[in-house]
Structure 1
Amino acid sequence: MDARFGGGTRHNAHVTAAALLERQQLPAAARVVVKVGSSSLTSPDGRLDPERLRALVEVLAARREAGGQVVLVSSGAIAAAIGPLGLAARPRDLATQQAAASVGQGLLVAHYTRAFAEHGLRVGQVLLTADDTVRRGHYRNAHRALTRLLDLGVVPVINENDAVATDEIRFGDNDRLAALVSHLVHADALVLLTDVDALYTGPPSRPGSRRIARVDGPADLDGIDVASRGSAVGTGGMITKLESVAIATQSGIPVVLTSAGQAAAALAGDDVGTWFAATGRRTSIRLLWLAHAAKAHGRLVLDEGAVRAVVDRRTSLLPAGVTGFEGEFEAGDPVEIVGPDGVVAGRGLVAYGSDEVPRLLGRSTSDLRVELGAGYDRALVHRDDLVLVRRRR
């Protein structure tokens, strides 16, 4: 699978209704997730720009007044605190980021509350961590809370809970968060607003670069230069945005990528930005997180036969096919599954801790059951907890 874009079959009979949505139908979409980056809400000096924020709110309020539901995933909390805390730039260390997020989140939501109130709309702040999209209880609670907010006519304003998130459990950027939230709330489409107006064949400033109006699959991205960095106040560049596109589109949710200045035109279905067609069907939010957002705690090294079984036959990973491991992990942690050549074949939730794995390696489940007892005859990684990250042979 191309890491930049979701794989899958576009015409699968099980593709959801969202997957059938085309750009011109976007004005009629019942529920849309809109993500805005820090650079779209701040002035050149890194401070929150209330006028930019109000301009976006005006567009979203018009959408609500037309009968559509909107979920807003907004960056900007840390950027909002740069000025009040006297910081020269976005902090790099986690502790200062958390402190800035704590200060800035209140400022950001206060601005949104006032701006939406001018249109007679209420907002509800929702702070999420990665656990809220992968752990079943947390996921169901988040889904229930967001659905109820929408039913009450409230505009949810979502951000990562940066004040408590750690490097191990964070989404990494709000692009990924927005894609997972789109799945969580059963959105019809995702609109990613950034500091460029579309995906281009190269850096937009490079002579000869041209806008890509539509992407239908991985082949459409061959040869595209997306290595440019994001803005000074944001965390993501085009690479992270395309990774987020992959999460959404392979889950049956089309994506529009454009600038905040073209948000109204994008929501109206106009030919602006880049339209990424849905390529897959809805899948487990846990598997989406595992494939695209989870931080692996280690890796299991497979022999070639085990790689074929896992990749081609989609079997569970048994101890007999594992020749080694790396890292420290506990049962339930995400790990990479690699072949003898070191190429990653998939990711999975391991059923044993790294302290237990050495005595299991290369042994059959029947032998393990006889020697170690019931419970040790289970798979190292069950197929229901495993996602492939490279194409089948």
Structure 2
Amino acid sequence: MTQTRHFDDVKRIVVKIGTSSLLHPNGKLNLAAIDQLSYTLSSLNNTDKEVILVSSGAIGVGMGQFGLTHRPTAIPEQQALASVGQSQLMTVYQQRFATYGTKISQVLLTYDVFEYTGSLKNTLNTFQTLLNWKVIPIVNENDTVAIDELGHTTKFGDNDQLSALVAAIVDADLLIILSDIDGFFDKNPQKYPDASLIQTVNHIDDAVYQIAGGSGSDFGTGGMYTKLKAAQRMMKHGKKAVLANGSDPKIILDILAGKQVGTLFDPN
């Protein structure tokens, strides 16, 4: 039985888009996808939805700038690539969102922001002010400084977790995770042609996690496991999440219209 989806009461939305949706397999920017994302989020902004975008891609874009096909293992090289890539990524976002008359901002975070009350309060105040001004914050991990060492954690590990943490602190109604897969399947669809899309998940337990695989593309870090963790975090707060294919970001409009696309994670 198909569960009817209702998002009429959704006001505040966090959208996370993965590296694979922003880059072509050759590492070059997917300008068409970025344009459609900018158009879609601007459309929501014009209908008084409050939107926060969590965007991966900094290291991947940096790799593309240098013609690299595999992520370096050295931390300083990864951080340098992130510095180069983040600049270009924000430049493209600025150009495309401006085309649709939408203001954006950049918010770079490290994990310790969520650990310290003062930092968290300042971050929340910034988010709220930007949303009040109808600005779309574009969030990414501050890869240039985020590392795990000496027991002091500054790194989120992946932007799926970052998006869920941001959604939790701003009390978002919905988290939409756009990736390179149509949703959550009962088995890996890249290996098994008979894999079936699971349209609705109401509970995430060990059996569900066992279905999840490893990380995704050479340019990104996330896999299905991290997406399930992000969805589970939303469900623990009584909120919904949707995992869908980000090849055409206009799918966000289909999701909010209640169409049966992707996988809905709904604790209710």
TM-score by length of 2: 0.91
Q: What's the offset of the Cα at 1:119?
A: 0.8
> Residues 260-339 of structure 1: matches in 2 within 5 Å?
260=246, 261=248, 262-278=251-267
Contact preservation (8 Å) 1:213, 1:275:
yes
Pairing 1:60–2:33 present: no
Match of 1:208 among 184, 194, 197: 194
Structure 2: distance between partners of 1:122 and 1:189: 22
The whole-number CA distance in structure 2 between the counterparts of 1:135 and 1:59 is 34
Paired residues, what number? 258
Q: Deviations over 1:226-247 (max 9, x none)?
A: 1243111110100111111111
| Equivalent in 43, 52, 61 of residue 71 of structure 1 | 52
* In structure 2, C-alpha distance between the alignment counterparts of 1:199 and 1:221, rounded to whole Å: 13
**CA contact 1:214–1:275 (8 Å) conserved in 2:** yes
* Greater RCO (Cα-Cα under 8 Å, separation 6 or more): 2
Query: Counterpart of 2:228?
Result: 242
Task: State the Cα distance separating 1:278 from its structure 2 match.
Answer: 3.1
Give 1:192 shift.
0.5
Shift of 1:27: 4.5
- Structure-2 change in CA distance of 1:223 and 1:65 (3 Å): closer
Q: C-alpha separation between the residues in 2 aligned to 1:92 and 1:223?
A: 27
Identity within the alignment, %: 38
TM-aligned CA deviation for residue 89 of structure 1:
2.4
* SS of residue in 2 equivalent to 1:26: coil
Amino acid of the structure 2 residue aligned with 1:192 = I
Contact preservation (8 Å) 1:201, 1:224? no
Once residues 50 and 240 of structure 1 are traced to their aligned partners in structure 2, the CA distance between those partners, rounded to angstroms, is 26
Distance 1:161 1:97 in 2: 12
What per-residue deviation string (whole Å, max 9, x for no partner) do you get for residues 81-111 of structure 1? 1122343322222111110111111111111
Per-residue deviation, 1:115: 0.7
* 8 A contact 1:48–1:76 mirrored in 2: no
Are residues 1:179 and 2:164 paired?
yes
- What root-mean-square deviation, in Å, do the aligned CA atoms of Structure 1 and Structure 2 show? 1.8
Q: Are the structure 2 counterparts of residues 228 and 257 from structure 1 closer, same or farther at C-alpha, using a change threshold of 3 Å?
A: same
CA–CA separation in structure 1 for the residues paired with 2:5 and 2:186: 24
Aligned in 2, Cα 1:222/1:34: closer, same or farther, shift over 3 Å? closer
Alpha carbons 1:121, 1:154 under 8 Å: kept: yes
1:96 aligns with 2:77: yes
Of the candidates 140, 145, 148, which is equivalent to residue 164 of structure 1?
145
Q: Which has the larger radius of gyration?
A: 1
1:1-393 alignment, distance < 5 Å = 24-167=5-148, 168-205=153-190, 206-218=192-204, 221-222=207-208, 225-260=211-246, 261=248, 262-278=251-267
Aligned mates of 1:238, 1:212 — CA distance in 2: 13
Residue identity matched to 1:252: G
Checking the alignment, whether the CA contact within 8 Å between 2:209 and 2:228 is kept in structure 1 is: no
Gaps of 5+ in 2: none
